[in-house]
Structure 1
Amino acid sequence: MELKSLIRDIPDFPQQGIMFRDITTLLKNPQGLRYTIDTLTQKCRDRNLLPDYIVGMESRGFVFAPLLAYQLNAGFIPVRKPGKLPAAVHHIEYELEYGTDRLEIHQDALEAGAKVLVVDDLIATGGTAKATAELLAKMGAKILGFAFVIELTGLNGRQMLPNLPIISLMEY
């Protein structure tokens, strides 16, 4: 299946000069969604990326991570923006192109030594994925790798995650 045919391109969103890769058209296609999850699952199994937990980054990582967790018989753990988790959290602040952002995870989300796979819909600059990895490492997690549906290769996000396996289903 040609997944790129299920991705809608929206020019100049969210700002002038940006080509937004809209996954909602993929999500509404039952065969496309099934193919995406089945392919991610098989690639994880082929590379022996068999985690205790799948960590999904807010917000579109929440779409793919629980489905992949189900397929791999793993738990799902959300990493969220500030103020959205009800219990005590660990947090990390990280740099964006214009300012900073913050990610949070429940302090009791996982035990030290737990094997995790980080999942999101897209990797661009790699800043959010790197911050998530740093947050998980501070908690003592063993990061097996990353899985993305889309990789924007021109933004070199992969370079932010050296020495870790990265799965991406399509590149732009």
Structure 2
Amino acid sequence: MTFPRPFLVPADPAEQLARDVVARLRPYPDFPEPGVLFQDLCPVFADPALLNRVVSAVLARYSGAFDVVLGVEARGFVLATAIAQLSGRPLVLARKPGKLPGRLHQVRYSLEYGDAALQTQQDAFPRGARVLLVDDVLATGGTLEAAAKLVALGGGLVAGYAVVVTIAPLGGPARLSALPAFSVLTLSGGGETPG
């Protein structure tokens, strides 16, 4: 059985990059719950040349605008690591509870399917650091909003956020409208995913 691709709206002048990413997305209907069309980015991450193009587009958007990269668990780690490596900036991890040692900042937040929490180590970056938030998908915006609160708790400044895919109908762009944004592509319907 085949499922139609959601309507694609390139979020960037690099329309070919958006087309190449959407061609690699694997939709999984009814995962992890009935009614959800999960957009799997694993094929994008598995293609080194395509991942490099995504990272290059992020770096072009935020050139000179950030000091630290904050990767959001778990799939955000892939993109964040590549961005940190190519930009020569430190990588900080925002993790679920019980994964980081030491003194921690924690923010609880709501998702479509319940509550969650993210933590960072309290000394993860210097006060006043400009922090780029990185995740794979923007859906409701709850996770990235929590990450922004963690940056504030640590004394940092949010430089903006970068994702590969934005699912517009779930409200994330509106929720994060005060932040500079980068997304390779925006799905305007049929691409619901958790997070």
TM-score greater than 0.5 by the shorter chain: yes
The aligned length equals 169
Partner of 2:36: 18
Paired residues of 2:137 and 2:166 also in contact (CA < 8 A) = yes
- Return the alpha-carbon distance in structure 1 between the equivalents of residues 45 and 111 of structure 2: 28
- Return the alpha-carbon distance in structure 1 between the equivalents of residues 66 and 30 of structure 2: 37
1:44-89 Cα distance to aligned partner (Å, 9 max, x none): 22xx5x2110000000110000111122221100000000002211
| 15-24 or 1-10: bigger deviation | 1-10
Greater RCO between the two (CA within 8 Å, min separation 6)?
2
Partner of 1:78: 93
- Alignment-mate amino acid for residue 23 of structure 1: L
Deviation of 1:154 after TM superposition, in Å, equals 0.9
- Return the alpha-carbon distance in structure 2 between the equivalents of residues 98 and 7 of structure 1: 23
Q: TM-score, normalised by structure 1?
A: 0.93
Q: TM-score, normalised by structure 2?
A: 0.82
Q: Which runs of 5+ in 2 are unaligned?
A: 1-15, 188-195
Deviation of 1:139 after TM superposition, in Å, equals 1.7
- Return the alpha-carbon distance in structure 1 between the equivalents of residues 72 and 48 of structure 2: 23
Paired residues of 1:6 and 1:32 also in contact (CA < 8 A) = no
Deviation of 1:31 after TM superposition, in Å, equals 2.1
Q: Percent identity?
A: 37
1:100-155 Cα distance to aligned partner (Å, 9 max, x none): 21111001101211110000000000001001111211221111100011000111
* CA RMSD across the alignment: 1.3
Deviation of 1:38 after TM superposition, in Å, equals 1.6
| Runs of 4+, deviation exceeding 4 Å | none
Partner of 1:167: 182
